[in-house]
Amino acid sequence: MLEKEVKIMLTEEEYERCKELFDFGAPLRQVNNYYYSRKCSERGISVRVREVGGEVLLQVKVPVSTEGSLAVREELEKKLHFVPERIGAETLEEVCGVADSAVRRGSLETRRSICKTDDTEICLDKNTYLGVTDYEIELEYTGEYPKQLLDRLAAAGITADKPQKSKLGRFLKRLGEIEEK
pTM of the model: 0.88
DSSP 30: E
Read off the pLDDT of each residue in 149-168 and give the average, rounded to a whole number.
90
Let me know: does 109 contact 29? Beta carbons within 8 Å.
Answer: yes
Give me the pLDDT at residue 147, please.
93
Distance (Å, rounded) from C-alpha 121 to C-alpha 135? 17
Give me the pLDDT at residue 1, please.
65
Give me the pLDDT at residue 125, please.
98
Q: Please tell me the class of the 2-180 domain.
A: mainly beta
Q: Using CB atoms within 10 Å of the CB of residue 125, give its burial: 0 to 12 exposed, 13 to 18 middle, 19+ buried.
A: buried
Output the CA–CA distances (angstroms, integers) from residue 111 to 36, 131, 140, 173, in the order listed: 24, 15, 17, 21
Alpha carbon dihedral 168, 118, 8, 44, in 10-degree steps, equals 30
163 has pLDDT over 80: no
Residue range 38-76, pLDDT digits in tens = 999 999 999 999 999 999 999 999 888 776 666 678 889
Distance (Å, rounded) from C-alpha 23 to C-alpha 25? 7
Give me the pLDDT at residue 73, please.
81
Residue range 79-93, pLDDT digits in tens = 999 999 999 999 999
Give me the pLDDT at residue 178, please.
94
Give me the pLDDT at residue 63, please.
82
- Which one, of 177, 71, 89, lies nearest residue 130 by Cα? 177
DSSP 41: H
Residue range 1-29, pLDDT digits in tens = 677 889 999 999 999 999 999 999 999 99
pLDDT band at 164 (very low <50, low <70, confident <90, very high): confident
Give me the pLDDT at residue 122, please.
97
Residue range 96-154, pLDDT digits in tens = 999 999 999 999 999 999 999 989 999 999 999 999 999 999 999 988 899 999 999 99
